[in-house]
Structure 1
Amino acid sequence: MEVRRVQKFGKSTLMVSLPAEWVKEVGLNPGESIYLEVDEDGSLKVYPPNLKSESASKEVKVVVKSASPADLAGRMVYSLYVLGYDKITVESSNGPLNEEILRKVKDAVRSLIGLEIISQDLTTIQIQSFLDPTKYNMNSLINRLSNTLKQMLHYLNLGIKEASRTFLQEVVELEKEVDRLYYLSLRQLLMAQVNRSLAYMIGVKRIQIVGNRILMKAIEEAADEISDAANDLLSLHPEDLEAIKSSWDKIDMLIDQTSVVIDHVIKVLGKEDVKLVNEVIDELETLRRVLITEAIGIEEKIGKLNSQRALVVTRTLNLRLYNAIRRMEPIAEIAFNRSIENLKEIVID
């Protein structure tokens, strides 16, 4: 660590010179601006104007056999992507890649933003990431995740209102987009954890990395609940779906309120307003109680229609909405903690 003396410049300005070696390395010229960031530990970071986040390309080879579990090969691609690898080579050690491994690897590549197969032969697949991580701001990714989740609820509502399999299938397709954004967000977070320059550029504070990972997982799990609800409805015969449609007015209220509370939870993340966050936490608890009460009435109405399958799916629909709301609670807790973490005095009135 190099030590430099702080000098006085003029009446009140303090200054410290920049190391000549660093100035030369980053190509800094007189008159250019630099960026300063106060870190959570009180240290000051200095960034050049031509800040680059690129580091050495991370490459890895995955060697498989014809008898290797195909699911494991596909899961390996997901994990290596999240860990920030730029080039992944999947290679067979005993003849051509078997059909199932080939399919799982290709499905994984198609499911991940910025990943492409650049070369393939009978025994080898080469996969390359073409992501520019500096273009994916963390707050925008969180907003995209929550907006897609709300779109899923919107189409779920329409699917029940119109007894439409098309709208319900759209819910399932949107859940795939949530997964794509989720994996991209994890990749960004883990790369930001080891690359402070990238963290600065995409708006990731070190103290918030764990919280961001928890909240993104919560949104992804809520999306799973809504997608499962759509799949349950898609499994019904048309007459059973029509039976559930008869209670749409009550279901509409529950889905609409779920969408509203999700919106409120995400919005308070960026506000340092402890009272507002506390109101959202109360709102979550109230909605859970309302859902339980309304679910009883909905199930009683469906039960009178002598459609046992429709009744079962209605119960699971209510449960999945309840679970989606519960997934928002960790996010609200994170928002609460962030609203007070920088306070010097807390007054409760």
Structure 2
Amino acid sequence: MEVRRVQKFGKSTLMVSLPADWVKEVGLNPGESIYLEVDEDGSLKVYPPNLKTEGSTKEMKVSLKSSSNADLVSRIIYSLYILGFDRVIIEKSDGPFNEDILRKIKDTVRSLIGLEIVSQDLSTIQIQSFLDPTKYNMSSLVTRLSNTLKQMLHYLNLGIKEASRTFLQEVLELEKEIDRLYYLSLRQLLLAQVNRSLAYMIGVKRIQIVGNRILMKAVEEAADEISEAVSDLLSLHPEDLEIMKYSWDRIDMIFDQTTVVIDHVVKVLNKEDVKLVNEVLEELRTLRRVLMTEALITEEKVEKTGSPRVIVVFKSLNLRLYNAIRRMEPIAEIAFNRSVENLKEISLE
């Protein structure tokens, strides 16, 4: 650690010079602005105006054989993406790629934002990331995730109301978008953990990294629950899907309330208001109780149809929606913790 003396400049200003090696490394010029941040421990952080990315490319080589598992290859690509690798070279050491592995690699790359196959031959594929991490603010990613989740609920609602397989299929497409945003968010968080300049630019505080990861996972799991409910609905025969329409009026109310609560949960993340966040937590618990009550009422109505498959799918729908609402609770709890972390005193009436 280097020690520098604080000097007086003018009547009341204190000044300390910047290390020459650091100035040279980040390419700082006279007249440019720098960013200052007071960290949680009281230390002062100094950030350059721009991220220096030259020479920081992370590359990984993956060697495969004919016996290699395609799903494992896919998981490796996902992991390298999340860990911030910019280039992945996949080589087949005993001949050309087989159809299963080739299809899996291409599907995986298409499912990740900013990733592309830049070169390919029979036994080698080079994957490159073209992401500019400074362009993806964490707050905007949270908003996009929550908005996409609400859209899933909207199309699920329409799918039941209209007995429309097209609307239900749209839910599955939106779930893929949730996954894409989720993986991008994890990549951003891990990059921010090792690059404090980037963290500052995309609005990630060190103390909030773990909470942000839990938050992203909660939304992704809620989307999974809704997606599973849709898969069950799509398994119904068209006549059985028509039967589900008769219970739509009560389901519509639950969907509306769930959308409102999701809105409230996300909005209180940036509010330092203990009482407001507590109200949202109570909203979530109340919504779960309402869902259970409505589920019992509507199940009696559905059971009168005499279709065992519809009854099973309807119960699954209620359970999945209940679980999706439960997934929102950790987000509200994170919001509550953030609302008190910077307070000097808590005063309750």
Which bracket does the TM-score occupy, shorter chain normalised?
Answer: over 0.9
Relative distance call for 1:26 and 1:73 in structure 2 (3 A) is closer
Query: What CA deviation, in whole Å up to 9, does each residue of 1:223-272 have, x standing for no partner?
Result: 01111111111111121111110111100001111111111111100111
User: What is residue 339 of structure 2 aligned with on the other side?
Assistant: 339
CA distance in 2, matches of 1:107, 1:37: 41
- The answer to whether the 8 Å contact 1:53/1:197 transfers is no
CA distance in 2, matches of 1:55, 1:341: 38
The alpha carbon displacement at 1:102 in A equals 1.0
User: What is residue 185 of structure 1 aligned with on the other side?
Assistant: 185
Query: What CA deviation, in whole Å up to 9, does each residue of 1:172-226 have, x standing for no partner?
Result: 0000000000000000111111111111111111100000000100000000111
Query: What CA deviation, in whole Å up to 9, does each residue of 1:69-115 have, x standing for no partner?
Result: 11101111111111111111111111111111111111110100011
CA distance in 1, matches of 2:310, 2:134: 48
User: What is residue 233 of structure 2 aligned with on the other side?
Assistant: 233
User: What is residue 250 of structure 1 aligned with on the other side?
Assistant: 250
CA distance in 1, matches of 2:285, 2:54: 45
The alpha carbon displacement at 1:18 in A equals 2.0
CA distance in 1, matches of 2:29, 2:201: 21
* Higher deviation after alignment, 253-262 or 45-54: 45-54
Q: Secondary structure at the match of 2:50?
A: coil
- The answer to whether the 8 Å contact 2:240/2:310 transfers is yes
- The answer to whether the 8 Å contact 1:53/1:134 transfers is no
Counterpart of 2:6, as a letter, is V
The alpha carbon displacement at 1:309 in A equals 1.0
Q: Secondary structure at the match of 1:246?
A: helix
CA distance in 2, matches of 1:58, 1:74: 19
Counterpart of 1:106, as a letter, is K
* Higher deviation after alignment, 180-189 or 90-99: 90-99
The alpha carbon displacement at 1:149 in A equals 0.2
Counterpart of 2:298, as a letter, is I
CA distance in 1, matches of 2:140, 2:26: 29
Structure 2 residue 2 is matched with structure 1 residue 9: no
CA distance in 2, matches of 1:146, 1:55: 36
- The answer to whether the 8 Å contact 1:52/1:197 transfers is no
Relative distance call for 1:238 and 1:206 in structure 2 (3 A) is same
Give matches, 1:45-124, under 5 Å.
45-52=45-52, 56-124=56-124
Q: Secondary structure at the match of 1:144?
A: helix
The alpha carbon displacement at 1:169 in A equals 0.5
- The answer to whether the 8 Å contact 2:26/2:52 transfers is no
* Structure 2 stretches lacking a partner, 5+ long: none
Identity %: 81
Q: Secondary structure at the match of 1:236?
A: coil
User: What is residue 149 of structure 2 aligned with on the other side?
Assistant: 149
Q: Secondary structure at the match of 2:106?
A: helix
Counterpart of 1:195, as a letter, is N
RMSD: 1.2
Counterpart of 1:339, as a letter, is S
The alpha carbon displacement at 1:348 in A equals 2.1
Counterpart of 2:89, as a letter, is T
Structure 2 residue 69 is matched with structure 1 residue 40: no
- How many residues were matched structurally? 349
User: What is residue 198 of structure 2 aligned with on the other side?
Assistant: 198
Query: What CA deviation, in whole Å up to 9, does each residue of 1:287-327 have, x standing for no partner?
Result: 00000000001110011111111111110000011000000
- The answer to whether the 8 Å contact 1:62/1:91 transfers is yes
* Higher deviation after alignment, 288-297 or 22-31: 22-31
CA distance in 2, matches of 1:54, 1:246: 61
Relative distance call for 1:51 and 1:83 in structure 2 (3 A) is closer
User: What is residue 310 of structure 2 aligned with on the other side?
Assistant: 310
Give matches, 1:220-299, under 5 Å.
220-299=220-299
- The answer to whether the 8 Å contact 1:32/1:49 transfers is yes
* Higher deviation after alignment, 168-177 or 94-103: 94-103
Structure 2 residue 128 is matched with structure 1 residue 128: yes
* Higher deviation after alignment, 163-172 or 31-40: 31-40
* Higher deviation after alignment, 93-102 or 318-327: 93-102
The alpha carbon displacement at 1:54 in A equals 5.5
CA distance in 1, matches of 2:174, 2:180: 10
Scaled by the length of structure 2, the TM-score of the pair is 0.97
- The answer to whether the 8 Å contact 1:118/1:128 transfers is yes
- The answer to whether the 8 Å contact 1:145/1:181 transfers is yes
* Structure 1 stretches lacking a partner, 5+ long: none
Counterpart of 2:157, as a letter, is N
Counterpart of 1:234, as a letter, is L
CA distance in 2, matches of 1:148, 1:315: 24
